[in-house]
Chain A
Amino acid sequence: MNEKTQLQGVDLSLRKFIRNLGYLSGGAALLATTPWLTSCTPEKLKEIGGHKARVALIGTGSRGMYHAHNLLLIPHAEVVAVCDNYEPHLRQAAEFFPKARTYDDYHRLLEAKDIDGVIISTPLHQHAPIVLDALSAGKHVFCEKAMARTLDECKAIWEAYQKTDRALYFCMQRMYDEKYIKGMQMIHSGLIGDVVGMRCHWFRNADWRRPVPSPELERKINWRLYKESSGGLMTELASHQLEICTWAASHKMPETIMGLGDIVYWKDGREVYDNVNVLYRYSNGVKINYESLISNKYNGMEDQILGTKGTMEMAKGIYYLEQDNELSGMRQLLESVKDKALAAIPAAGPSWRPETKSDYVPHSIIQGKVHVNHGQSTVGVDKDGSDIILSAFCQSCITGEKAKDVVEEAYCSTVLCLLGNKAMEEKRLITFPDEYKIPYMKF
């Protein structure tokens, strides 16, 4: 596959989807439910002409290089500098972008006038200082999730964002993933009825470690395992999934949080839990049931939204309807076409015989090839929206237009992750603290 056709597949599919929304009756209303997409419509992409965003990578480890590969496919992006304070990582980035300047200190990079925006893929505890410094330096900022290591840092970023005219993105890629967008629109249009529960889980069977060349680098390389630099499974995995819950609930936030976390299997000196169960409760009694462990991968990863009329499995891009057991007529007709056989279908009875067993039929949220993230990669998977949100960021570097709601969604999900950790550490029921509420939230 050459670069151009790949680009069409990567960058244009969502834009085509956005464009098509405009052609459909009710399309404008649909777009209004995903306001962050309005800053990256095909029309706005056209307006930037041949302009290129001059961007720099801060943090060029595995995730930074994942973005680097995507940047190559974004025509309106030019990588002018790369930065990492770990020499092997900086070297691999320099080899990848031979024309880019190299820095081992991000402060110096931020002084450069020819950089429009920075892409931050560092350990979590470095997010807040770098994001705040970069905004102060007048840069547009794209930062990996989660937002920050602590609640106060999240609040500081949110406040800085209220004052800045710079664009700020956190890599909430599901917001740019067509199957999530369409799935959410289905939820919000009432396809699955009232949302009565959410079940999110992420299971892996791996130690989450990276090889360390020498012992003093342990905390630097394996930052995910230590509390000073990481919120563990909650910030690294749950942050995406709790964002889905916020999105599904239209910014309604849980009121109370409880949870239990333990190190069950990987007793290798790590500090973060390898086994978490967190329960979030909304004021109407609806709950998010979050579960993650990394010593069994049978269940994989899934974001399940339960409604009175159906169930969404967002990660697989599939939904099930409660009433499907009444629909055998049309189902049999569709099956008969698949079997290339004409068969009589019981379609005309005054009523239907109820089926004793509910055999749920999966329906696809989107047509064509669905890219399913099975949740086993620790770096990232193709076509999960990460490429598109990065492309949207590069567009913002040129237009200066902020993407609505992305920071707010990142804030909400990160705060939920951190409150989950707090509930587990303190082994108590936590009420959502007033000081971390923002106007975007509803309770």
Chain B
Amino acid sequence: MLVNRAEWDAEEHLFHGFVPRIMGTRFDLLMKHPDGEDADLLWWRVMDRLEVLEKVFNRFDPESEVARLNALCPTEEWVEVGKVLGHAIELCGEYYHKTERLFDVTLRDFSLVEYDKEQGRVRFAEEGVMLDFGGFAKGYALCEVRTLLEEEGVECAFVDFGRSSLLALGHHPYGECWKVALNNPYTGELVREFSLRDVSLSTSGNTANYAGHIINPNTGDYETSQMAATVVAPNPLDAEVLSTVWMVADQQERQTIAERFAGVEFEMYEL
């Protein structure tokens, strides 16, 4: 069972739950719900789902499916993968192509990953290939959370996954949207305010304490500039994937990629 906490504000019909540590970060869900107990049950379903995804994607957990696949590094034999991992690899392939090969969960060359969708199995073309879903899993999880919330008829919710991946459904109880501010991590100054409604916002960038964690798979260089990227997209996974891509893409690539993702708002900031 995940360590978690939940609070119900009966007056506001507002449910707040959080998991202090999941996929290496914190997960918060705030939702309007007519019934506290139903909200709680929904919260448990959300956590169940997160736990499942954690067991697939967390490569730091040696028992996770990704960690086992990486350890095995199947170059000759095909290895069967579960539905979720198979689906993720398939999506990663699509993003790889749609982002001019900038989104790459192998961090070097995704074309070395062979995925057999029919049989649900995978193998690598070379030794040393590894999958890292760090810039993918939170967005994937947010998509699933959104589905769970929508199935239950939740119209207003704010989900904060690791503070850099947000999902805003409907609006704040006292406003027409959810308002979010991007602050400069180096100075604390306000960079931009967002009014979010039925969209996802993802940010990527370097901070004073945490820089050089984004790598350009095409050049192998670490991105260390004092920059931040934000992406607002209807689909949380698009936002998650594209915010990292935006940090490493050049002008030409950005133009090409933007044309492929209609309805997505990209922004780059010098900090």
Seen from chain A, the residues whose Cβ lies within 8 Å of a Cβ on chain B are: 23-26, 29-30, 186, 189-191, 309, 321, 323, 327, 329-330, 333-334, 336-338, 340-353, 363-364, 367
Contact = CB atoms under 8 A, between A and B. Distances in A.
A342 B172 contact: yes
Which of A321, A329, A342 has most B Cβ within 10 Å?
A: A342
Contacts of A364: 7
Contact of B1 (A30, A342, A344, A350): A30
B63 interface: no
B14 A337 contact: yes
Which of B3, B16, B44 has most A Cβ within 10 Å?
A: B3
A309 B181 contact: no
Secondary structure call for the B interface: strand
Given A25-B48, A346-B180, A363-B7, 6 more contacts: A191-B3, A344-B193, A345-B180, A348-B180, A350-B164, A351-B210
Interface in B10-28: 12, 14, 16, 18, 20, 26, 28
Contact of B175 (A25, A30, A309, A342): A342
Contact of B3 (A29, A190, A346): A190
B164 A348 contact: yes
Interface in B212-242: 228, 230
Nearest to B202: A348
Q: What 10 pairs between A and B have smallest CB-CB spacing?
A: A342-B175, A26-B1, A351-B207, A344-B179, A350-B205, A344-B181, A351-B185, A349-B183, A353-B188, A346-B181
B203 interface: yes
A342 B16 CA distance: 17
Given A25-B48, A29-B1, A344 B180 contact: yes
Secondary structure call for the A interface: loop
A351 B14 contact: no
B92 interface: no
B252 interface: no
A309 B20 contact: yes
Contacts of B14: 337
7 contacts: A25-B47, A321-B20, A327-B26, A330-B18, A337-B9, A350-B204, A352-B163
Interface string B156-193: 00101001101000001111110111111100100001
Contacts of B1: 25-26, 29-30, 189
B5 interface: yes
B245 interface: no
Given A337-B174, A349-B163, A342 B44 contact: no
A345 B175 CA distance: 13
B177 to A, nearest CB: 8
B160 A330 contact: yes
Which of B174, B193, B228 has most A Cβ within 10 Å?
A: B174
Given A24-B44, A330-B18, A350 B9 contact: no
A333 B20 contact: no
Given A345-B179, A348-B203, A350-B164, A336 B185 contact: no
Contacts of A336: 172, 174
Contacts of B251: none
A345 B181 contact: yes
Nearest to A343: B179
A346 B44 contact: no
A321 B185 CA distance: 23
Contacts of B180: 344-348
B16 A334 contact: yes
Contacts of B173: 337, 340
Nearest to B193: A344
Which of A23, A344, A367 has most B Cβ within 10 Å?
A: A344
Contacts of A25: 1, 44, 47-48
Which of A338, A348, A353 has most B Cβ within 10 Å?
A: A348
Contact of A333 (B30, B41, B210): B30
A25 B206 CA distance: 39
Nearest to B184: A349
A363 B174 CA distance: 23
A341 B182 CA distance: 19
B255 interface: no
A309 B160 CA distance: 20
A137 B174 CA distance: 67
A50 to B, nearest CB: 30
Nearest to A350: B205
Contacts of B210: 350-351
Nearest to A309: B20
B129 interface: no
Contacts of A343: 179
B160 A347 contact: yes
A24 B2 CA distance: 12
Contacts of A352: 163, 185
A202 B210 CA distance: 45
Given A25-B1, A343-B179, A350 B203 contact: yes
B60 interface: no
Given A189-B3, A350-B203, A367-B8, A329 B179 contact: no
